[in-house]
């Protein structure tokens, strides 16, 4: 009678990976854009915590500061935000005393958003912090590479 075979464990039949092959993913624009965004956003959240600004709050306040009288419709269009989502953001910034609503000079149905003195001061500080963290994030890129990267990323999501 032949010797009885010992059963192999499932672990012996399962292949192991020594090096991960991510070449397909690394060839995708979305994958790379998301990985880069996550690396920057993690630092952004940490450094903007002192200002109590999330990325979307920062974007809205920056646009209001640089575009006095901007309407909610213009904010939504520029940032790709749905109007119901913007309502709470604007209300929160207003409650914090960073922005205020004023009648639109030419459209009686619209309201323009304006930064208060406190909002302008906070945004100057926050934008300085954002510029520093962006420089840190792009430290491996030359200035020309950074400009090229920004231009190429905008080409993906803009129609102009």
Spatial CA neighbour of 124 closest among 67, 44, 62: 62
Confidence of residue 15 (pLDDT cuts 50, 70, 90): confident
Give the burial class of 64: count Cβ atoms within 10 A of its Cβ; 0-12 exposed, 13-18 middle, 19 or more buried. buried
Pairing of strands 99-103, 111-115: antiparallel
pLDDT (0 to 100) of residue 143: 94
Q: Domain limits of the chain?
A: 27-154
Choice between 118 and 2, residue whose per-residue pLDDT is larger: 118
Quick check: 6 pLDDT over 60?
A: no
CA distances (Å), origin 99, targets 30, 47, 64, 67, 124: 34, 22, 8, 12, 14
66-123: pLDDT as tens digits: 999 999 999 999 999 999 999 999 999 999 999 999 988 887 788 999 999 999 999 9
CB 78 within 8 A of CB 63: yes
CATH number 3.30.420.40 is the correct assignment for the domain at 27-154: no
On whether the pTM is more than 0.85, the answer is no
pLDDT (0 to 100) of residue 96: 97
Residues 118-137: what's their mean pLDDT?
A: 96
21-41: pLDDT as tens digits: 999 999 999 999 999 999 999
Give me the residues paired with residue 111 across strands.
103
Report the alpha-carbon distance of residue 46 to residue 48 in Å, rounded: 6
Spatial CA neighbour of 112 closest among 62, 66, 59, 72: 72
């Amino acid at each position: 009678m032949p010797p009885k075979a010992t059963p192999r464990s499932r672990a012996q039949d399962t292949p192991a990976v020594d090096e991960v092959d991510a070449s397909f993913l690394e060839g995708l624009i979305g994958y790379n854009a998301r990985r880069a965004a996550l690396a920057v956003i993690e630092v952004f959240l940490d450094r903007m915590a002192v200002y109590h600004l999330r990325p979307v709050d920062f974007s809205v306040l920056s646009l209001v500061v640089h575009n006095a009288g901007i309407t909610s419709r213009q904010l939504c269009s520029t940032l790709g935000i749905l109007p119901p989502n913007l309502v709470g953001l604007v209300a929160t910034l207003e409650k914090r005393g960073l922005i205020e609503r004023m009648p639109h000079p030419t459209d009686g149905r619209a309201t323009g958003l304006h930064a208060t003195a406190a909002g302008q001061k906070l945004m100057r500080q926050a934008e300085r912090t954002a510029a520093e963290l962006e420089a840190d994030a792009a430290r491996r890129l030359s200035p020309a590479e950074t400009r090229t990267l920004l231009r190429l990323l905008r080409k993906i999501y803009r129609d102009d």
